[in-house]
């Protein structure tokens, strides 16, 4: 496959060089702010406020990170508490999302039953929902359930994240029906088929769901339904620290770098699986 790709028809070398230069310039522009963020995070305080401002760091130091840890250890809710909340949210939110979205996506893509197409249409429609649009009624639902100031209010809605469900069901459609039929003839029940045949085949898809749900939950500041300090997740604490204005410019850069590095690294390590999943994302 990769071999045939290299010998494309209708291609000129000049065209390829031109494309490479255009892409290279574009990519450099895209990367510049992130490179700047890295530099900023390692700048000592005198370089942060140099005039005229300098893009690159000259004497890199870990001062900003050290300051961040000092600030974290001085907060009256211990740093580990924020971290634990974040880990609980990300872990349970992601595992539940993968499990429930895969179970639902399996029957949506491989079974025929009344209501299936209608439900599928609803999910596609909901891809357009922004959380802000339903924020108010969501608050009412949460308070009826008694989930205000409860981590469940962040975790459980993440289980029904519609982009993940949609991508998973699209990916599962390409599993050959004959494979499932053969297992049925051999006497396997639906649970066995789902766990032992379908799930191993859609590994790229659930890695993608994992990344998407991780990204969303990792950035969640719990702001809409959680008001108790001890239940706030890590990003909230970090943003509070960095929001203290100009005096914390270096710490803010360190926070920004930590927040950005985690999802970017996850993407780097799973890029090929994610792209494979996205290939089936089309809507007819």
* Rounded Cα distance, 82 and 280, in Å: 37
Burial of 148 (0-12, 13-18, 19+ CB in 10 A): middle
CB 180 within 8 Å of CB 197:
yes
CB 213 within 8 Å of CB 164:
yes
Q: How far is the CB of 62 from other proteins (least distance, A)?
A: 20
Which segments of the chain are extended strands (E)? none
Which tokens sit at 169?
């069901």
Residue 260 in the binding site for other proteins (CB under 8 A): yes
Q: Which stretch binds other proteins (CB under 8 A): 57-65, 72-80, 82-90, 271-279?
A: 271-279
Residues that bind other proteins (rule: CB under 8 A) add up to a total of: 94
Say whether 155 sits in a helix, a strand or coil: helix
**Contacts of other proteins in 155-184 (CB under 8 A):** 156-157, 159-160, 162-163, 165
**Contacts of other proteins in 82-101 (CB under 8 A):** 100-101
Q: How far is the CB of 148 from other proteins (least distance, A)?
A: 13
Residue 187 in the binding site for other proteins (CB under 8 A): no
Q: Which stretch binds other proteins (CB under 8 A): 64-72, 83-91, 176-184, 276-284?
A: 276-284
What DSSP character marks residue 194?
A: I
Say whether 196 sits in a helix, a strand or coil: helix
**Contacts of other proteins in 103-142 (CB under 8 A):** 103-104, 106-108, 111, 113-114, 116, 119, 122-130, 132-138, 140-141
**Contacts of other proteins in 13-32 (CB under 8 A):** 15-16, 19-20, 22-23, 26-27, 30-31
Q: Find tokens 């969501």 and name the residue.
A: 138
**Contacts of other proteins in 41-70 (CB under 8 A):** 49, 51-53, 55
């Amino acid at each position: 496959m990769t071999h045939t790709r290299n010998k494309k028809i209708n291609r000129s070398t000049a065209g390829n060089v031109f494309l490479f230069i255009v892409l290279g310039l574009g990519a450099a522009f895209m990367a510049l702010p992130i490179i700047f963020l890295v530099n900023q995070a390692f700048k000592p305080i005198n370089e942060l406020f140099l005039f005229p401002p300098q893009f690159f760091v000259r004497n890199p130091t870990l001062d900003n990170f050290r300051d961040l840890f000092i600030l974290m250890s001085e907060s009256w809710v211990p740093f580990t508490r924020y971290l634990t909340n974040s880990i609980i949210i990300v872990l349970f939110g992601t595992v539940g999302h993968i499990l429930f979205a895969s179970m639902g996506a399996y029957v949506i893509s491989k079974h025929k039953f009344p209501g299936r197409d209608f439900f599928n249409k609803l999910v596609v429609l909901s891809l357009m929902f922004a959380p802000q649009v339903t924020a108010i009624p969501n608050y009412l639902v949460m308070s009826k359930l008694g989930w205000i100031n409860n981590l469940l209010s962040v975790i459980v809605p993440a289980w029904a994240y519609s982009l993940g469900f949609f991508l998973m069901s699209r990916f599962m459609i390409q599993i050959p029906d004959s494979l499932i039929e053969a297992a049925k003839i051999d006497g396997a029940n639906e649970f066995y088929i789902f766990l032992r045949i379908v799930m191993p085949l859609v590994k790229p898809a659930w890695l993608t769901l994992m990344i998407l749900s991780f990204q969303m939950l990792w950035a969640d500041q719990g702001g809409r339904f959680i008001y108790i300090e001890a239940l706030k997740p890590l990003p909230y604490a970090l943003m509070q620290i960095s929001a203290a204005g100009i005096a914390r410019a270096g710490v803010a850069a360190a926070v920004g770098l930590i927040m950005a590095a985690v999802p970017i690294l996850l993407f780097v390590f799973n890029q090929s699986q994610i792209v494979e999943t996205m290939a089936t994302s089309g809507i007819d």
